[in-house]
Amino acid sequence: MFSGAHVILHTPDAEADRAFLRDVLGFPHVDAGRGWLVFALPPAEVAVHPTEGEPKHELYLMCDDIVGTLTALEDRGAEISRPVSDQGWGLLAALRLPSGTELPLYEPRHPTAHGLSP
């Protein structure tokens, strides 16, 4: 039924953040026209969490080795904005995009669904 998901990051400096996704994170991409890059992402999953506040959406990049991933990304010029912290459900950190926005990543310690076919 579904062929994929399309995630949108709203950012004050889209051009710089696109270059970061392309050059630092190394995500393959297509040019949808006039430099509007659309990036391929690793397999994904979606979770639904309750909230008492305003509903919101979050994007986390998952990795198998967060320390190794952060080291490799720092070597490519990424700024680590939040060091690794143990959240119980996984190890969490964040990168700073050129626009100043944080991009969280984590090494899960819970069962994941991203390898399953819908």
The DSSP output letter for 16 is H
Most confident of 1-5, 72-76, 114-118: 72-76
Is 80 exceeded by the pLDDT of residue 115? no
> Structural domains in the chain?
14-108 (3.10.180.10)
pLDDT for 3 equals: 82
Is 90 exceeded by the pLDDT of residue 91? yes
Alpha-helical segments (H) within 34-91: 66-75
Taking all residues of the chain, what is their mean pLDDT, rounded to a whole number? 94
2 pLDDT band, cuts 50/70/90, is: confident
Task: Beginning with the edge strand found earlier in the chain, give each strand of the sheet holding 102-108 in spatial order.
Answer: 61-62, 102-108, 90-96, 79-86
pTM, to two decimals: 0.88
6-36 in b/e form (b: 16+ CB < 10 A) is eeeeeeeeeeebbebbeebbebeeeeeeeee
